[in-house]
Amino acid sequence: MQTLQFPGLLLVGLVAGTLAAITGRLGPSIWLHIGFNMTTVVALFMEMRS
């Protein structure tokens, strides 16, 4: 992991953990993770196309 990635990944992890704690379910955290990963996939795809 690169040093610049750590703060963003930490924030997403904290939000996912908070969602799981508040709702008592993993579903919202899983959807957050899917959305985060899809953002990365779309960004990489757009970079490849340009």
What pLDDT tens digit does each residue of the chain (50 aa) get?
688 899 999 999 999 999 999 999 999 999 999 999 999 999 999 999 98
- Confirm whether 1 is domain-assigned: no
Instruction: Decide: 36 and 12 in contact? Cβ < 8 Å.
Output: yes
Map residue 27 onto helix, strand or coil. helix
Number of domains in the chain: 1
| Enclosing domain of residue 17 | 7-49
Residue 13 lies in a domain: yes
Question: Is residue 18 included in any domain, yes or no?
Answer: yes
What is the token pair recorded at 44? 């990489």
Residue 5, CA atoms < 13 Å, CB-side half-sphere: 4
Give a yes or no: residue 37 inside a domain: yes
Question: Measured between alpha carbons, how far is 10 from 6 in angstroms, rounded to an integer?
Answer: 6
Q: How far apart are CA 12 and CA 29, in angstroms?
A: 9
Q: What is the pLDDT of residue 1?
A: 67
